[in-house]
Amino acid sequence: KFGVFPFQSSCDKDVTLNILSVLTDLLSLGTGRRIHYVISKGGSETLLQALAAAARTDPPDHSILLPLLRLLARVGQRDRKFGLKVQKAEATDIILSLARRNLGHHLHLTHCLWVLRVCASNVTTGTTLGINGAMELLFKVITPYSKRHVRTVRAAIEALAALLKSKPNSRRAVNRGYLGGLLRLYQDWHHNGVSNNYIYIRRGLLLCLKHITNVQLGRETFLGSRGMEILFTSVQDCLSCKNLDPIVTTVIQILRKCYPKESLPVVTVRSSYFFPLPENAKAESPCEGSEGKWLKGEFTDYESDGEEEAEKDLDNEDVESKEEDYDLETDVNKLRSRPMLDRPEEELGQYEAMCPELSHNFQELESESEEDKSLEDRTENLCSTHFHFIPSATSVKHPNYRWRNQSVTEMGPDPEEKDFKVPLQSWTKKEKCRWDLIDEKRNIVEAVQDADPCEEEDPARSHMLTLRPLPKEAAWYKKMFYPECEASINPSPGGRLESSDTVRNLLEKHQGDTSFQSSCFYVARAKCVKSIPDYKDLGFPDFWGHQPPPYSKPMLERKYGVQRDKVLDDVRRLIQPSDVIGRTVFDLDEPSHSSPGAPGCLTFFSKFESGNLRKAIQVREFEYDLITNADINSNQHHQWFYFEVRDMKSAVPYRFNIINCEKFNSQFNYGMQPVMYSVKEALQGRPHWLRAGHDICYYKNHYHCSAAAGGGIRGKCYYTLTFSIKFPHKDDVCYLAYHYPYTYSTMMSHLDMLEQNRNPRKVYWRQQTLCQTLGGNPCPLLTITAMPDSKKREDLEQFYNRPYVFLMARVHPGESNASWVMKGTLEFLVSSDPIADLLRKCFIFKIVPMLNPDGVINGNHRCSLSGDDLNRQWLTPNSQLHPTIYHAKGLLYYLRSIGRAPLVFCDYHGHSQKKNVFLYGCSIKETLWQAGCVVDTAVITEDVGYRTLPKILDKVAPAFVMNSCSFLVEKSRESTARVVVWKEMGVLRSYTMESTYCGCSHGLYKVSKSFK
């Protein structure tokens, strides 16, 4: 304050020099607070006025100009409006004039260039400088190549880089041929910088190229000038030296940006499968999620997973993306609970049948023998016909869409009938499935026939499932399956044995090895499944089951420089195309165009339940590009993958690139690995899904969605997940997946086993069908609680008055971790654990273990067959397009209407960008506070009980993290289950529970190491 104002009016040179000296000393020490203080007092304007005055003297007094220029450069770096102030003071011409006059005096020129660089940081000012000839001046300074006056050259290059941030300047530079000059200059500095003394100059030149290539003309000229080859070749010399990382990083950025954009090598980005929607449902114009907008050309950033946000800082997984204030709901009236119905009240009566526990008289406590009760319990939950409401959409006939074993009870009425209702108990014991639950060693064919309620009278129409060919290495195969009669083996020409023979031999040889599940149960359940591709094959891991690995595996420590190495490998394809094989070895769309089984290449397959792989292209001998299928009736949501691969060599690293991922970032960058299942390992007694792969990274690639492929959408970019795997055996059959698979048939067979193994005297278990899905598959609804102690009035009253807890999972098919959490929940609730027993005695659990069976069955990642994200349909679900949501909401409405709204509602999800387990809840006050609204606590009252359950979990669950929980209500989430149940049902404790795909970053389960 005392230095700036006298400086304005001082005419004495000594006084001016003293003031400049004092200011220099003050601003050279301490933090930036002093500079900001000077700026706030008009310091920038004062210094610019002094510069103008000093420049007018003839000749200029450099004893004043030099310290003045140093101060301007220092202050200008911290002053965000410095460029505008320079223009206002009309100082741009002064600075350029000083620079031109001092071209032969490098010390003075360097000071002028420092100020020029700061001025150019403002794009508008930079454009003005470019028009006035600043770039031409700078090119005179930096060319030709010379090691003399390096300090001046560096200042000129940095000033040029600042000028080129302006797109008009970049275009001007390209038109005047400066881009080629910059490339030649970079080569000179690179070739002569043997001792790495000129890193800043080389990086400055790269920054110039980076800014020029921000414009289309710059990228085209860069490619035409062989810029890709020049930078690719030069960067090879820098990879081994960490000191050159700034150069390598900038080169990689330029190469990735300038790599010519390509469309995905598919006919269309829409799914390979199509499901015809009911015509009358289309006319209802259901609530559209982000998927509908994407298909219509109104694409905005879509939700990525559960309720997660895309992380802005892709280099740091711990940086949370801040809640955008505009997305927070600030209308108090919309935040308040609003009990309301979205359907006629008389419709709620149908849901009374889904609450048999409220009217059960428990006669079996006295009269029913344990054997009869066990039989009834076991048979009630198999593929029966007790659907409460079957939408007519399930009866749609289409030439490309035929179900096997169709019947009226399975598929619904004639398509002309709108609704078809079947009484809950309209089936008799003669229609029940018969299970021999004791002798699991019986012939698999007999088991399937006994257990299959979907079997038709006409054997020609039976839904036959086959097992994929097993490893066919002759000696190993004979030893494993036919040790007594090796000579009798004569596999069919295609390598496939009859399913019944293969499975019978498998089960006879390994009677005790399928511990995770009963393979008999699984096959019987899988035969009932209806899929769009009409699956004929079983995935071996799902049929055989698996056991947990015998050890805990730490998260993968990321190898230094792995991502840049992968990107450079991709660039090498462009520069050295002769190395690329480019052979399609698997293609769902055009099987005749693929070359499966070609010598020296892997064989891929994905047409089994939950499988997802659309295309595989062999790039090099041990490298493959893979493309996943979009969700059915959609052209997006590429994340989930699950496929079979065979014919591999052992101990050879195969690289797989999944090239059409969509998320901005992934836990694959922070220690996550894909999972692998080896059939040979399983048949040798080690049936494990294991985390596998090395050199894993996730990055943006050069593919984009063209307008033709995307139905009018342009500019959508894709990301690559790349990983390398060494297979444990030669000619094995292995399965690779995004996460541990959990299929619909696995869930149904698991429910069979849970019911079989429970204690019927202690555990009340009822499995019903919530509804039939759009694809014709039953969506199970479970009721679990404790049996009353007796038929005494007080015991029955205690039973009937237990509060409800409503749980559901797997609304997003790709979130298989949600099903594993649900599996653990169910196993615990029916167990003999004292806490489980106490929970059963205190609550009635209503559970929908899989809310989107069709999506899970058909290998979708996020949507149902309608192409909608079901967790965005809760406001106004369509009874035909979204039947599971419609009826789950109807059941919740019914419970509320009889005064039994759930005490807790929780929707299980998976999260792909965060670690640990956490909850999202709903709070009016926390939402308003976060949005910066004034909250009148006298008017807005709120029960803080919504925090009770998260706090308890934080204390007792090692994987749970309270700090990751959020209780904000966003506008973009208003149609999710969590928010709708909170608002419309008045459930205070309404949650989304997110579980990581990766691992834990703290506590008991923390097994990670720091990343380099």
- 3-class SS of residue 978: helix
Q: Which tokens sit at 525?
A: 């359940």
Q: Name the residue type at position 872.
A: R
Residue 589: other Cβ atoms inside 10 A: 14
Distance (Å, whole) CA 171 – CA 213: 9
- 3-class SS of residue 259: coil
Q: Which long-range contacts (CB under 8 A, 24 or more apart) does 394-400 make?
A: 394/772, 394/773, 394/774, 394/775, 394/776, 396/276, 396/277, 396/278, 398/276, 400/274
Q: Which tokens sit at 844?
A: 């009635």
Beta-bridged to residue 623, according to DSSP, are: 620, 655
Beta-carbon contacts of 819 under 8 Å, excluding residues fewer than 6 positions away, are 742, 747, 809, 810, 849, 850, 908
Beta-carbon contacts of 679 under 8 Å, excluding residues fewer than 6 positions away, are 470, 471, 540, 732, 733, 734, 735
Beta-bridged to residue 646, according to DSSP, are: 603, 733
The burial class, CB within 10 Å (0-12 / 13-18 / 19+), for 415 is: middle
Nearest to 505 by CA among 469, 480, 488: 480
- Residue pair 661/637 in contact (Cβ under 8 Å)? The answer is no
Distance (Å, whole) CA 759 – CA 755: 9
Beta-carbon contacts of 505 under 8 Å, excluding residues fewer than 6 positions away, are 481, 482
DSSP category for residue 286: P
Whose tokens are 């001998």? That residue is 621
Pairing of strands 419-420, 904-911: unpaired
- Residue pair 528/454 in contact (Cβ under 8 Å)? The answer is yes
- 3-class SS of residue 7: helix
Nearest to 613 by CA among 586, 637, 584: 586
Distance (Å, whole) CA 664 – CA 198: 35
- Residue pair 545/687 in contact (Cβ under 8 Å)? The answer is yes
Distance (Å, whole) CA 972 – CA 201: 47
- In 497-545, where does DSSP find H-type helix? 499-509, 519-527, 540-544
Beta-carbon contacts of 458 under 8 Å, excluding residues fewer than 6 positions away, are none
Nearest to 51 by CA among 77, 79, 76, 26: 76
Whose tokens are 């933090």? That residue is 31
Distance (Å, whole) CA 909 – CA 822: 10
Pairing of strands 694-705, 262-263: parallel
Question: Angle at the Cα of 128 (from 123 to 131), degrees rounded to 5?
Answer: 125
Question: Crossing angle of helices 150-163/106-120, nearest 10°?
Answer: 20
The burial class, CB within 10 Å (0-12 / 13-18 / 19+), for 768 is: buried
Q: Which tokens sit at 925?
A: 């006050």
Q: Which tokens sit at 554?
A: 């730490």
The burial class, CB within 10 Å (0-12 / 13-18 / 19+), for 852 is: buried
Radius of gyration of the chain (CA): 34
Active-site positions read: 994
Half-sphere exposure of 351 (CA within 13 A, CB side): 20
